[in-house]
Structure 1
Amino acid sequence: MKKVLIINGHQKYEGIAEGNLTKIFIDEASKFFENHNFEVKHSMVESNYDIKEEVDKFAWADYILFQYPVYWMGVPWLTKKYIDEIFSAGNKTVTYLNDGRSRDDASKKYGSGGLMKSKYMLSLTYNCPESEFSNKQGFFDGLSLDEANIATHKTFQFCGAKPLKTYAIHDIFKSDLDLNLELTKFNKVLEENFLN
């Protein structure tokens, strides 16, 4: 049975970001994985998590679905704290052995000391429109969605995990947001990433 860890990276801001959209996508993903006979575990960064237990979940998982809102062009600060604590605690056992370099072997490159064998998917919620990405005149100066989230991707790469296709919902505060359409798109990405 395939094993997936779903991480809820939401951080609540009263009246602005309550976590409802993140919960909708996590519930949808949970249903998808259960319907396809995955074993599922959950983590929530905004909780009193146990660091050792979280490291054990990373060791257990074949796949990681990382669901979070993008705040100020990156992960919420509690999510960054979670990453720092869990990935650091997994040093030499689960996440990474070292930075990859070796005094004895100059061919070993920085960032090649990861221990994780899992694959991961980022699922992001954004206020900015999709048109801002891969657009030289856009806010992100031509960067793609994945390039704009390079810090998170490089963190997983440093630890040896392989990326799956990223999903993002955009313009979340627009009154004409079609959530059903977005959930259909989300399910298609889940199928592509986890069933093929």
Structure 2
Amino acid sequence: MQVLWLTAHPEPRSLNGSLHHEGLRFLQEQGHEVRTSDLYAMGWNPVVTAEDFSRPTPGEGAERLVVGSAAEEAVRRGTLAPDIIAEHDKLAWADTLIVQFPLWWYGMPAILKGWFDRVFVRGFAFGLHDDQGRQLRYGEGALAGKRAMVVVSAGAREASLGERGINGSLSDLLFPLQHGTLWYAGIDVVPPLLVHGADRMDATAYAAHADALRRRLKDLPHTRPLPFRRQNGGDYDENLVLRPELDSATTGLAAHYSTAAEAPTPGST
């Protein structure tokens, strides 16, 4: 594999930092090539601005900034900000993306959300069309053929991230990232790895989680992706609504897996 490991934690000596280094060591030991984007170490700027697209700062007399079209034009002309271009080069090189972060307020740290905002721009991660004019997204597109795995830590107990847990199911919490971002851009997403009980972890628990990470990385090239439905696979009508004859009893996020039976067990690792 050619792996881009994307991570977001401010403390390199943290649990996330330790697992990050263990994962990199294991991948290299197994003969895989690895590049990294350690966002806090890089001092990554998470804020989208006109300068990302070589545009003047909006103000009196300046052209109104339309982010999508400005990004698409900058991709075409090669005038994106250098730090964005560097991340595009890493993604173009990689066949596998690891996204690692602590779960903060039910989502990604802001710096990581800002990486997706600035890097997954129209003209690079989405915005392609087929010869019928249909948008190539949700299973198709510029990043199709790559795969990704999310490694997420949480202070919560594993059961509390289950189907009836107070924190909500892990599959639902990660749906915006796994389905709405990665799968949207065409990337196959394998089931996530949950590192639970992060705030109460002792040496024995850490060893178990590190071993689970190594096993998941070893199996990653052959792991079956989450069975998300393809936008253009016939499951959705012209309004992008799931056809009524398909698993009509299932609603909400679970409906967008190919069958309810194949959807991941909430909170599973």
Which bracket does the TM-score occupy, shorter chain normalised?
Answer: 0.7 to 0.9
- Corresponding residue SS for 1:73: coil
Superposition TM-score, scaled by structure 1 size: 0.81
Q: Which runs of 5+ in 2 are unaligned?
A: 45-82, 224-269
Q: Find the counterpart in structure 2 of residue 60 from structure 1.
A: 93
- Corresponding residue SS for 2:207: helix
Q: Find the counterpart in structure 2 of residue 92 from structure 1.
A: 123
Q: Provide the C-alpha distance between the structure 2 equivalents of 1:109 and 1:3, rounded to a whole number of angstroms.
A: 24
Q: Give aligned-pair identity as a percent.
A: 20
Q: Provide the C-alpha distance between the structure 2 equivalents of 1:61 and 1:110, rounded to a whole number of angstroms.
A: 19
CA contact (8 A) 1:124 1:167 kept: yes
Q: Which has a greater percent of strand?
A: 1
- Relative distance call for 1:82 and 1:105 in structure 2 (3 A) is closer
Greater Cα offset, 179-188 or 169-178:
169-178
Is 1:194 aligned to residue 221 of structure 2? Answer: yes
- 1:1-196 aligned at under 5 Å gives the runs 2-10=1-9, 12=10, 20-46=14-40, 47-49=42-44, 50-88=83-121, 91-93=122-124, 95-98=125-128, 104=132, 111=138, 114-116=141-143, 117-136=145-164, 138-141=165-168, 143=169, 145-154=170-179, 155-174=181-200, 176=202, 178-194=205-221
Q: Which runs of 5+ in 1 are unaligned?
A: none
CA contact (8 A) 2:5 2:36 kept: yes
Q: Please tell me the root mean square deviation across aligned C-alpha atoms, in Å.
A: 2.4
- Relative distance call for 1:36 and 1:195 in structure 2 (3 A) is farther
- Corresponding residue SS for 1:65: strand
> Aligned AA for 1:87?
F
CA contact (8 A) 1:121 1:165 kept: yes
Which one has the largest radius of gyration? 2
Superposition TM-score, scaled by structure 2 size: 0.61
